[in-house]
Amino acid sequence: MTQKVNFKNGNLTIAGIVFLPEGFDENKKYAALVVSHPAGGVKEQTASIYAAKMAEKGFVTLAFDATYQGESTGEPRHLEDPNARVGDISAVVDYLTTLPYVDADKIGAVGICASGGYVTAAVKQDHRIKAMASVSGVDIGEMYHVGWNGNGPDMDIPATLEAIGKQRTAEANGAEPLILDWIGKKEDIQIPEMLDGYEYYKTDRAQHCNSSGELRFVDLQALIAFRAYDRVDTLLTQPLLIFAGSEAGTLWSSKLLNEKAASKNKELVVLEGFNHFDLYDKPECVNQIADKMDPFFKNNLKN
């Protein structure tokens, strides 16, 4: 059973989908999970796949659109502000604590792709979140410095920041915003793994009318400076479960989080033979991950 919900994050409205477990009883208290979507995605895609799966396991789950994206409000549209993304996660926790059937002491979080980083950044400062899981998680800020595969940056960062400054000045003086696409045109893709990303977002596999895949060029300014894993060695003490594909270019990010996090209860699970995007929706990956997350959250979201 699902319910579409809307709730506030300051002056903005977040749109979400609540997934309720079978046999749901509104008079009972349930552990709950926040499920956050990748950059360029929306709640109806991989976030809802995992939210539905974990509801089958007995959790109340909530997949949501980031502010400025999907059905959530906020201008300019398609803004990818890492600090806003992190704040959204705490706003979802705020909302969950108001639901009479949610145990406010039993809230966890799941982040996918860039949201693996955003959830990490939220969890290290919001200890109402008692445990977290990362699926193909990426510290998106670090990625701009080490590249998708961790072998070096895919852009000239000083030149990019210079160009962003010029574009901001131009837009402040009336120029049209410069809009980028997270995936780009198929013929322009240089990293073979990103062809799977194109298939996921741009074909019937998972494309959605609310997922344009767009971001503003000037958003790169904050993304380049963002560090999801900063101070996780002292602040991230909650139980941590990390999933990555053995063939994922982003495996380096999952290894880095596992290495740096202060959590005494942490585990990196590498799914052999799968890449970054396989973990989004392929049943053999999703089922394995959900089966592992089930006891992890049940054991760690308890008084």
CATH number, domain containing residue 273: 3.40.50.1820
Structural domain contains residue 199: no
How far apart CA 101 and CA 183 sit, in angstroms, is 39
Domain count of the chain? 1
Structural domain contains residue 164: no
Structural domain contains residue 216: no
**Two structure tokens written together for 221:** 């300014």
What would the pLDDT profile of 267-282 be if each residue is shown by its tens digit?
999 999 999 999 999 9
Structural domain contains residue 207: no
Confidence check: pLDDT of 303 > 90: no
Give the model's pLDDT for residue 251.
Answer: 98
Structural domain contains residue 248: yes
Closest among 53, 56, 65, 68 to 23, alpha carbons compared: 56
Determine contact, residues 51/35, Cβ cutoff 8 Å.
yes
Q: Is the Cα dihedral 164, 85, 143, 263 positive or negative?
A: positive
> 83 lies in which domain range?
2-154+227-300
Structural domain contains residue 201: no
What would the pLDDT profile of 20-68 be if each residue is shown by its tens digit?
999 999 999 999 999 999 999 999 999 999 999 999 999 999 999 999 9
Structural domain contains residue 204: no
How far apart CA 10 and CA 128 sit, in angstroms, is 19
Structural domain contains residue 218: no
Across the range 84-113, mean pLDDT stands at 98
Q: Which residues contact 267 (CB under 8 A, 6 or more apart)?
A: 240, 241, 242, 258
Full-model pTM: 0.97
Q: Is the peptide bond before 76 cis (omega within 30 degrees of 0)?
A: yes
